[in-house]
């Protein structure tokens, strides 16, 4: 008879096996990665291009080009594009990040043949019409003004500027004046250079049976758009030398303070990555973490505080972030430093280490249950240039990590004196 008072037995995760995609090279130089799973009749098509902030010759050009792709092509207006996507119950958008731009289509599998020509046209033949361009610039500028009223945005912006340098793609702040001067010709030039198929990684996942060959045929004919060659991106600026100390950012009228504490971090390709990620998880990567127990549960300074490793293709960062009442900013900084020091000086207990290992591996397993999540993991490996066994090694090394190893890493990487701290908002006197 089933005893409902007794929980079922649990077993540690010893391996994580992800499906192996099929990879093919298209005639135009793009690579197609196919991950098939027919549990649901839906699919996702993503086209990822080296067209992010790192490649742009003018600030914010990459994001504007990405947003304008669906605002009209040489044969379809923005309204026609939106109506077609809506008619098929699909989703189509493009966003540019620090390193790359990504065009994403979600749709029912049976509608892909009707939508695929639209995807190809949006990629290859955007028109960048003047009216839509001005409206998009105005919307983006207005949104940015709203964001810059938030202490959280201001803290993150200044933290990145200090950590990576204002001249780098990762640290360059938004410049509304130069953004408003961008022209359609500049967008066309950047598109002709950056949206070339030879640099594209195409990820097709979901119920793709019978559609992979069609995607290869249609997107294999995609050719670079004609247009003037864009000015080259500015040479990558040298990163500042390990910035540390306290930077305050006044935010008029704010009684809340947003804190960002961190430093540059070893690349994901480093051999100690699994242990370093586990160390961050212990510090602030889950609800039972050191920072949450101290600063939320014990002190009551915040609703949440989190530590994470932010991965970019040419730089990594450890970021601790929280929002507190301005009067608590100084005390919060003190408690963060206290928890960093504890990890350096006090060995982890067996129970805490086992708990965080189980949480880390359980969360990893839970985030690979759908085909789109599996595709996300695979795409991460491809774009970050990681080994194919990255996740298998992550599981193995996480299970094997010892308290002594983690304490030694904390002594190397979690010295409070090596941290950069940015406090935006609140009373500056309290933050100092």
pLDDT bucket at 274, cuts 50 / 70 / 90: very high
User: Roughly how many angstroms between the first and final C-alpha of the chain, as a whole number?
Assistant: 64
Element (H, E) at 421: strand 420-425
Per the prediction, the chain carries an average pLDDT of: 92
Element (H, E) at 193: helix 184-194
Does 245-431 match 22-220 at the fold level?
yes
Instruction: Give the tens place of pLDDT for each residue, 244-253.
Output: 999 999 998 8
What confidence score (pLDDT) does residue 429 get?
46
Instruction: Give the tens place of pLDDT for each residue, 357-407.
Output: 999 999 998 889 999 999 999 999 999 999 999 999 999 999 999 999 999
CA-wise closest residue to 365 among 395, 390, 389, 388: 395
What confidence score (pLDDT) does residue 432 get?
44
Element (H, E) at 256: strand 256-265
The CATH T-level fold of domain 245-431 is: Cytochrome Bc1 Complex; Chain A, domain 1 (3.30.830)
Please state the domain extents for the chain. 22-220, 245-431
pLDDT bucket at 157, cuts 50 / 70 / 90: very high
Instruction: Give the tens place of pLDDT for each residue, 347-360.
Output: 999 999 999 999 99
Q: In the predicted model, is pLDDT for residue 231 greater than 70?
A: no
Assigned superfamily of 22-220: Metalloenzyme, LuxS/M16 peptidase-like (3.30.830.10)
What confidence score (pLDDT) does residue 229 get?
67
13 contacts 363 by C-beta, under 8 angstroms: no
pTM of the model: 0.91
Looking at residues 170-181, what average pLDDT do you find?
93
What confidence score (pLDDT) does residue 13 get?
65
Q: In the predicted model, is pLDDT for residue 237 greater than 50?
A: yes
Q: In the predicted model, is pLDDT for residue 1 greater than 80?
A: no
């Amino acid at each position: 008879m089933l005893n409902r008072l007794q929980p079922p037995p649990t077993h540690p995760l010893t391996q994580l096996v992800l499906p192996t995609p099929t990879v093919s090279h298209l005639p135009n130089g793009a690579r197609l990665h196919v991950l098939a799973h027919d549990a649901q009749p839906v699919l996702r098509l993503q086209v990822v291009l080296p067209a992010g902030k790192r490649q742009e010759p003018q600030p914010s050009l990459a994001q504007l080009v990405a947003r304008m792709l669906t605002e009209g092509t040489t044969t379809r207006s923005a309204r026609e594009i939106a109506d077609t996507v809506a008619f098929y119950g699909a989703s189509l958008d493009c966003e540019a990040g620090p390193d790359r731009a990504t065009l994403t289509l979600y749709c029912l599998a049976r509608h892909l043949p009707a939508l695929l020509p639209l995807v190809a046209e949006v990629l290859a033949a955007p028109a960048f019409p003047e009216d839509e361009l001005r409206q998009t610039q105005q919307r983006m500028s207005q949104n940015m003004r709203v964001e810059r009223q938030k202490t959280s945005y201001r803290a993150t912006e200044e933290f990145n500027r200090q950590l990576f340098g204002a001249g780098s793609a990762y640290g360059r702040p938004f410049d509304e004046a130069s953004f408003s001067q961008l022209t359609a010709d500049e967008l066309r030039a950047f598109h002709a250079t950056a949206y070339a198929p030879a640099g594209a990684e195409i990820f097709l996942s979901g119920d793709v049976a019978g559609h992979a060959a069609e995607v290869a045929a249609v997107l294999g004919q995609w050719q670079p758009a004609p247009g003037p060659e864009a000015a080259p991106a500015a040479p990558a600026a040298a990163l500042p030398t390990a910035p540390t100390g306290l930077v305050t950012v006044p935010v008029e009228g704010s009684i809340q303070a947003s804190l960002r504490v961190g430093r540059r971090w070893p690349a994901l390709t480093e051999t100690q990555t699994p242990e370093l990620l586990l160390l961050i998880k212990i510090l602030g990567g889950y609800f039972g973490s050191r920072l949450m127990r101290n600063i939320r549960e014990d002190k009551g300074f915040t609703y949440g505080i989190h530590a994470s490793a932010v991965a970019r293709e040419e730089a990594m960062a450890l970021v601790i972030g929280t929002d507190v009442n301005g009067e608590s900013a100084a005390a919060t900084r003190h408690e963060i430093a206290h928890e960093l020091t504890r990890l350096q000086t006090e060995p982890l207990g067996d129970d805490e280490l086992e708990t965080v290992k189980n949480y880390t591996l359980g969360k990893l397993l839970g985030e690979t249950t759908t085909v789109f999540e599996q595709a996300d993991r695979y795409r991460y490996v491809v774009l970050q240039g990681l080994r194919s066994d990255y996740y298998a090694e992550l599981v193995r090394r996480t299970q094997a990590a010892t308290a002594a190893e983690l304490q030694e890493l904390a002594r190397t990487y979690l010295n409070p004196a090596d941290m950069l701290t940015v406090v935006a908002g609140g009373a500056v006197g309290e933050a100092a």
